[in-house]
Amino acid sequence: MKWPTWADLRTIGNSAAVRASIVVPVIGYLLVLNATVADYMKMHGIEAPVWTSLNLWDHLWGIKLYLVYFGLMFLGVGSAIYQWKCPYFIKKYGDWADYVAGVAPHTHVSNIDYLSKITGIHVFDLNTSDQQSIPRLLQAHYSIMSNDLLLWRIAATILFSVGFGLLIVPSGMTAIRVASVVF
């Protein structure tokens, strides 16, 4: 299986909504473990539902708030991993072409030797005849950064997937209920 690169995760990881979900575990923890809030929720029928019937639809509808909470929590943890482990240049530049365009004009000769060692591309002559070497070097560097830290990319991918999967259930159920009332 080919896991997504950091560049593939960039759209999700850089979105403002997913970044904001980082605070959901903290806020949820404070709300769920606060005795006053828990008592208030019980008085208003938002306590943990008891599965008394075999009707899956009713059970899922009863736990929709928890599905939203856990979905946002998984997204928040995935976003925290993305923000922490994704290389800065991947977060900043959408693809290798943007990276080359943004970084090449500022690439100093001393960086070229360093990038050559990382990428394995050897630049022998930086005169006008070899000016295409720098973009190739930067493209290879972007690819290496994007494919770095496989276990962290796997963790972020799984957390994003589970989070969105949990959010789809109550969203879909609500859409079905609204559609059944309208039509």
User: For residue range 122-168, what is the model confidence (pLDDT) as tens digits?
Assistant: 765 544 445 567 788 888 888 888 888 999 999 999 999 999 999 99
Query: For the chain, what is the mean pLDDT?
Result: 79
- pLDDT of 120 > 80? The answer is no
Query: Average pLDDT in the 22-38 region?
Result: 68
More confident residue, 46 or 145: 145
Q: Find out whether 160 and 12 touch, Cβ atoms under 8 Å.
A: yes
Q: Which of 41-55, 59-73, 138-152 has the highest mean pLDDT?
A: 138-152
Backbone angles phi, psi at 23, to 5 degrees: -80, -10
Mutual angle of helices 64-85 and 6-13, in 10-degree steps: 130
Q: The pTM is what? A: 0.74
More confident residue, 3 or 28: 3
Give the 3-state secondary structure percentages of the chain, helix then strand then coil, rounded to 5.
75, 0, 25
Query: Average pLDDT in the 72-82 region?
Result: 91
Backbone angles phi, psi at 108, to 5 degrees: -85, 150
Q: Which of 140, 100, 147, 101 is nearest to 121 (CA)?
A: 140
Confidence of residue 111 (pLDDT cuts 50, 70, 90): confident
Q: Find out whether 71 and 163 touch, Cβ atoms under 8 Å.
A: yes
Mutual angle of helices 64-85 and 150-182, in 10-degree steps: 150
Residue 54, classed as helix, strand or coil, is coil
Amino acid identity at 37: V
Q: Find out whether 85 and 152 touch, Cβ atoms under 8 Å.
A: yes
Q: Find out whether 67 and 170 touch, Cβ atoms under 8 Å.
A: yes
